[in-house]
Amino acid sequence: MTSASRSRATTVNVRAAAARALVPVLSCQGSLAGLDTSAVGERDRGLMRALCFGVCRQLPRLEALASELLRSPLRHRDLDIQALLLIGLYQLYEMRVPTHAAVGETAGAARSLNKAWATRVLNGCLRRADRERDTLLARVEKRPEAYWSHPQWLLDRLRRAWPQEWETIAAANNVPGPMTLRVNTRRIDRATCLERLEANGIEATPCHYASEGITLAQACDVEQLPGFAEGELSVQDEAAQLAAPLLTTDLSKGARVLDACCAPGGKTAHLLEQRSDLALTALDSEAERLSRVESTLGRLGLTATICHADATSRQWWDGTPFEAILLDAPCSGTGVIRRHPDIKRLRRDSDIATLAELQDRLLDALWPTLAPGGRLVYATCSVMPEENQQRIEAFLARTPDARTITIEADWGRPAGPGRQLLPQINGHDGFFYAVLVRSAGA
C-alpha cells in the first residue's frame, strides 16, 4: 500500500465501508468472497469484517426488525442506508458495542456516503430499536424466518431433510465456525505444533476426527501463527481434512491422481502433503481461482500440474486414465453457511435442482477418465440429500461398472451410499462423502 492510500485508508469510516461492501449482497449482485478491507485503517479491518459477516449471518432477523422501524421501505438507490440500518441493529443486538456508539457512529456514517439526510432517519430508528428491543424482538420472532435467521425455503428444506436435526443445523449456521488449521506433517508433527502455539500464547486443541487438524480457541491473523509462512500450517476446516485420507489409501508410488474442481486448493495441498510422490493434476474451470491454487502450493513447496478446463467435458484429457479422482463438486454450500453467511441471501430454492444437474454431468464426464479398479471420492459441503446420497444413488443406477465402498469412520453418519457430517457449533462444517470404485474388468 502506498503512503497516499495508507493515508486515505485511515480516514474512511468503517461503518460506511461495511455498508458499501454489503450493497452487492443485499441486491444479489455479489458476495463477500474476497472481501477487501484495505479501504479502512488496519485497526478497523477486523470490525469491518465482523460487521459484514455478522449482518449476513443474521440477515433475515435484522431485515424483519428494519421493516418494523421504517415507515416505508428505502429506495433501491439507498441500499447503502438500508445496510447501515442493519449494521446499527447488528451492533445493538449482537455485539458488545456501547449504545451511544452503535447509534451515533452508524447514523453519522451516512455523511460518509454523502447522504446526510439519512442521519436523522437512522438515528430515530436505532434509538427506537434500543428503547423497544424486547417488544420488537417478540413481534418479529413469531415468524420462523426471523427467529431462525434463515430464508423460509431453506428452513423448509432442512426440515424435510433432517426432521430431527434441522434446529441444531440452523443454530450452528448462525454461529461463526472456529478457526481450524491443518498441520503439514511433512515438516512438523501435530504435537510439536501444539507446543509451539502454546509457547506463543495461542490456545489450541487437536481435532477429534482429523489427525492433522488443530482448532484454535480464538481466530487470529495467520501472520501471527508460528510456522505459517514457512508452510507448516494451513487454514482448513476439520471436515474438509477428511477428503485426502479417503483418496490416498493404497495408492501406488507415482499414481496419476486428478483433483477436479480443485480451487482454492486446500484439498489439493493436503493430498500432496500426505503423498508427495503422486502425479497430481489440479483442474478447475476458473482461471482466477487457479492462481490461488498455485499460490497455496508455492507457499507449501508442493507441485502439481495445473489445468484450466471445464470438468464437464473431456477435451482437456490426454486419454491416460487416473488411478484416483477427487470430485469436490460445486454445491449449495449449505454445510458451510456459518463461514459464507451471504448464502442466505444469494442462494435460491431452484439452485438445488440446477446444481444437482451439474453434479450429475461432472460424475458422468469424469467417470471414463478413471482407470478400472480406481476410486473416485465424491464430496460436497452440502447437507441437502438431493446433492449428496441421491446423486450417488442415481449415478450407480445408470453406471453398471460403478460400486461404492462403505466408509468405516467414527465421524458423521451413514447417508445412503455415503456419509454425512452436519455442521456443529465449535466443531466441523457440514460435508458429504462417498467413495466409488470402478470395476476392474471395465
306 closest CA partner among 358, 255, 269 = 269
**Can you tell me the distance from the alpha carbon of 282 to that of 289, in angstroms, rounded to the nearest whole number?**
12
- Supply 409's cell numbers: 469412520
Contact (CB, 8 A) for 375 and 247:
yes
Residue with cell 438500508: 82
The response to whether 129 counts as a known ligand-binding position is: no
The response to whether 310 counts as a known ligand-binding position is: yes
Task: Please give the angle made by the CA atoms of 37, 39 and 45, to the nearest 5 degrees.
Answer: 40
- Supply 419's cell numbers: 456419509
Q: At what angle do helices 79-94 and 14-26 cross, to 10 degrees?
A: 110
The response to whether 261 counts as a known ligand-binding position is: yes
Sign, Cα dihedral of 134, 172, 34, 349: negative
Strand 256-260 and strand 322-328: pairing? parallel
DSSP assignments along 154-182, one per residue: HHHHHHHH-TTTHHHHHHHHTSPPPPEEE
Q: Is 384 left (phi over 0), alpha (psi -120 to 50) or beta?
A: beta
Which residues contact residue 163 at a Cβ distance below 8 angstroms, ignoring those fewer than 6 apart? Answer: none
**Which amino acid, one-letter code, is at 285?**
S
The response to whether 266 counts as a known ligand-binding position is: yes
The response to whether 189 counts as a known ligand-binding position is: no
Beta bridge partners of 278: none
The response to whether 265 counts as a known ligand-binding position is: yes
Helix, strand, coil percentages in the chain from 3-state DSSP, rounded to 5: 45, 15, 40
321 closest CA partner among 368, 364, 282 = 368
Catalytic status, residue 381: yes
- 267: how many CB neighbours lie within 10 A of its CB? 23
**Residues contributing to the annotated binding site:** 261-267, 284, 310, 328
Catalytically annotated residues: 381
**Residues contributing to the annotated binding site for S-adenosyl-L-methionine:** 261-267, 284, 310, 328
